[in-house]
Amino acid sequence: MPNRPVWLGRVDGHAGWANTATMKLAGITRATRDPAGGRIERDADGNPTGVFVDRAMALIESRIPAPTAKESATALDTALAEMASVGMTGVDDPGIDLATYRLYRQYADRHRLTTRIYAMIRSTGKDFDAISKHGPLIGYGDDFLTVRAVKLYADGALGSRGAAMLEPYSDDPGNRDLLFHTPDELTKMIGKALGRGYQVAIHAIGDRANREVLNSYAAAYKLYGGEDLRNRVEHAQILSLQDIPRFVSLHLIASMQPTLATPT
């Protein structure tokens, strides 16, 4: 059905594919510019192919209606049942918004959480301001809900060629991709979270992104403190050898996942 809009997200959340109907609804044309921190893949003639990388995904996702309260509750019920079926007693949710925070609290209040959730607030914008008014939430609802961390992003993923690298990709000459934030922006975001007592976890895949994250942590510590909050670099996938010892000196956790050893 060529007239039915379709939007498919990549498994890592760093790219998506839209069909022609979806791009038409979103107003995507050859003249649409790449947003900062994102890329629209194009053919040899400059026309969008339907693949949107990192922040370019917002050009499509901003047009998709938010789920209703009933749909969100159904999704959470389904996820809790699935986790219970395989014996999962605790999970991290890295990057929640205000609506998800409120839903988790409702379930905790009603004793409906069957898996412990350690949630991270996505970025330090308006949702963070609302959620953090009373500081970190620790062991809420009989120790089933903790919200005491913030998830930030420095770059994209390797598979979609969105990770920020010190050298160009071997199969994509000239592309080192983009960092999501300037060093000053990232330092201020870290400082805002640390200043309110929240652990910071920053997604960094490429060696260039990891270096910038280490630099921003160092700058933020000098201005705001917070070295004792067990701050993390999420994935820490590709590192320059000279940067590895800095994790020790900065008291940072390299939060690595084995599945990223064989990225696609």
CA distance 172 to 161: 8
Would you state the pLDDT for residue 101?
Answer: 98
Pair 173, 248 in one domain? yes
Select from 159, 163, 142, 136 the least CA-distant residue to 234: 163
Would you state the pLDDT for residue 263?
Answer: 57
Locate 30 and state its tokens: 């050859």
Does residue 14 lie within any of the structural domains?
yes
Would you state the pLDDT for residue 187?
Answer: 98
Whole-model pTM: value is: 0.87
Would you state the pLDDT for residue 3?
Answer: 86
Pair 90, 107 in one domain? yes
Would you state the pLDDT for residue 157?
Answer: 84
Which residue, of 131, 151, 171, is where some domain finishes?
151
Q: Which residues of the chain have pLDDT under 70?
A: 1, 262-264
Pair 158, 231 in one domain? yes
Would you state the pLDDT for residue 37?
Answer: 82
CA distance 55 to 128: 20
Pair 163, 242 in one domain? yes
Pair 172, 212 in one domain? yes
Q: Strands of 15-18's sheet, edge to edge?
A: 7-9, 15-18, 48-54, 38-42
Pair 202, 161 in one domain? yes
CA distance 212 to 153: 11
Whole domain around residue 16: which residue ranges? Answer: 7-61
Give residue 168's identity as a one-letter amino acid code: P
Q: Tell me how many domains the chain contains.
A: 3
Which residue, of 98, 128, 151, is where some domain finishes?
151
Pair 108, 177 in one domain? no
Pair 248, 175 in one domain? yes
Which residue, of 151, 176, 210, is where some domain finishes?
151
Select from 6, 8, 49, 16 the least CA-distant residue to 157: 16
Q: Which domain CATH number covers 243?
A: 3.20.20.140
